[in-house]
Chains A and B, each alone.
Chain A
Amino acid sequence: MQKFDAFTGNLAVATAMKQINPDVCAAYPITPSTEIMMIFADFVSNGEVNTELVTVESEHSAMSACIGASLAGGRVMTATSSAGLAYMWELLSVASGLRCSMVLTCVNRALSAPLNIHCDHSDAMGAKDTGWIQIFSENAQEAYDNVIQAVKITEHKDVRLPVMVCVDGFIISHSYEKMQYMEDKEVRDFIGEFNPYRSLLNVEKPETFGAMVLPNYYMEFKRQVREGMEKARRVILDVGNEFGSRFGRYYGYFENYMLDDAEIVFVVMSSAAGTVKHVVKNLRDRGIKAGVLKPRVFRPFPAREIAEALKNSKVICVLDRAETFGAEGGPLYLEIKAALQTAKSSATIISRIFGLGQRDFLPVHVENIYKEMAGYFETGNIKMFDYVNVRD
């Protein structure tokens, strides 16, 4: 039996964590994710969960403790943002390389300098190639649903890779919105018991974890991580379908919005997708064939499926809330362009960087990009790369 209530993104994630009741959480506070562990610490103190909450001295230690707890066979969760994720970076590939099951909520925030506590995706994008599964959330509901699904994905025997659930800082983490949530028992039935395949604490059968590997074996272990990532593709779909059949909200790799016959298409992740969908709806009302593709799963990247969904597109604008400084476009743009090249698409694909450090991204900005794209049909000219809402 599901109920509705008002949740911030952080409260949604903390509530999911309470219902999941992990064995170990190790975390260090950083804006805007601090509140998740603050709220969760109340659940621990009030005896609503059995979690061992480890208050470490840094994010580097937080991830180290999570890795140890995961290898010991625990169900492990943590949360961080921005510089906190950057400080964990060394350990992120340790977690994936050692095939740790764990769930990290990354409340997306800009990287310094200049120091900025507000939203962009530069933290998560900096970690995109560390062997973590990455799932992006548009709103509090998706954040809640994704965190619960992430437990099932990370613990699947074919996957055993850590999962990062991304939630836009402040825009989602600190804004209240209506959200539907399950009963504790429904969530616990869905995720089931965790059966770790090994445990560091098994003294009956001692094993060595994290040994050094020389050039003659290193690539074999990395090849295994890729295999886990490949197998995650099916597991993510299966878990999204099972979640939908139980709770009525189905999840796949991405969301299509008015995409079927769309010629002018925006590709955008997370909260900004709501703004773009609003503008596209207005364009449709005017008879314009516009659409939106909102990727949810960034790692593993669903290249083939996205290329198929975009096969009728003529002009595609990929919106990135992260910079790549010197590459042809933003990180999402590069993935989309590669996917469409493989599919031999003839669409024109442009890159637009928006919302860095939570710069406003309003319907008028989407409309301006639309005008550029519409103009391309007449002139054949369009800027391949640009910033949105920056003072020139």
Chain B
Amino acid sequence: MSELKSWKEIPEGVVIEEAGNSEEYKTGAWRSFRPIWYKDRCIQCYRCWTFCPDLSILIKEGKVAGINYEYCKGCGICAHECPKKANAIEMVPERT
């Protein structure tokens, strides 16, 4: 988190002046379950990428390449959507 500003320095009315700044806010610490992606089981159907609400499925050279743990909140939608026959994503409890 960047240095905290005083009430005189921030825009009035709870306005965020720059668009697309959610990248600066890392939400990975919210996770209580961590998705584990198994490359050998993945059939590259992109269902996890399609349904992830946080763009946390990494794509490299057109292929699913893992999970971005800086932003993944551990919602489990990717594991739920992964086809049963592949079962390439498993949710495991996050160690505290």
Residues 205-234 of chain A, each 1 if its beta carbon lies under 8 Å from chain B, else 0? 011111101001101110110011000000
CA distance A4 to B3 in the complex (A): 60
CA distance A217 to B18 in the complex (A): 17
Distance in Å: Cβ of A366 to nearest Cβ of chain B: 44
B13 at the interface (CB under 8 A from A): yes
Find residues 13-60 in chain B having any chain A CB closer than 8 Å to their own CB. 13-19
Distance in Å: Cβ of A181 to nearest Cβ of chain B: 34
From known contacts A221-B7, A223-B7, A227-B7, infer whether A207 and B17 are also in contact, taking CB-CB under 8 Å: yes
Residues of B within 8 A of A99 (CB): 12-13
CA distance A79 to B54 in the complex (A): 41
B6 at the interface (CB under 8 A from A): yes
Instruction: Tell me how many residues of B have a C-beta within 8 Å of chain A.
Output: 14
Instruction: Tell me how many residues of A have a C-beta within 8 Å of chain B.
Output: 22
B84 at the interface (CB under 8 A from A): no
Residues of B within 8 A of A352 (CB): none
CA distance A100 to B14 in the complex (A): 11
B10 at the interface (CB under 8 A from A): yes
Residue in A closest to B9 when the chains form the complex, CB atoms: A220
Distance in Å: Cβ of B30 to nearest Cβ of chain A: 12
A98 at the interface (CB under 8 A from B): yes
User: Contact at B14–A210, with CB atoms within 8 Å?
Assistant: yes
Residues of B within 8 A of A211 (CB): 14, 16
User: Contact at B16–A97, with CB atoms within 8 Å?
Assistant: no
CA distance A206 to B13 in the complex (A): 15
Residues of A within 8 A of B6 (CB): 220
Residue in A closest to B21 when the chains form the complex, CB atoms: A208
B15 interface neighbour in A198, A223, A227, Cβ under 8 Å: A198
Q: Spell out A's residues near B (CB within 8 Å).
A: 97-100, 160, 198, 206-211, 213, 216-217, 219-221, 223-224, 227-228
Q: Spell out B's residues near A (CB within 8 Å).
A: 1, 4-7, 10, 12-19
Given A206-B19, A220-B10, A224-B7, 13 extra CB contacts under 8 A? A98-B14, A99-B12, A198-B13, A209-B13, A211-B14, A211-B16, A216-B1, A216-B4, A220-B5, A221-B14, A223-B7, A224-B10, A224-B12
Q: List 25 A-B contacts (CB under 8 A).
A: A97-B13, A97-B14, A98-B13, A98-B14, A99-B12, A99-B13, A160-B13, A198-B13, A207-B15, A207-B17, A209-B15, A210-B14, A211-B16, A217-B4, A219-B7, A220-B5, A220-B10, A221-B7, A221-B10, A221-B14, A224-B10, A224-B12, A224-B13, A227-B7, A228-B12
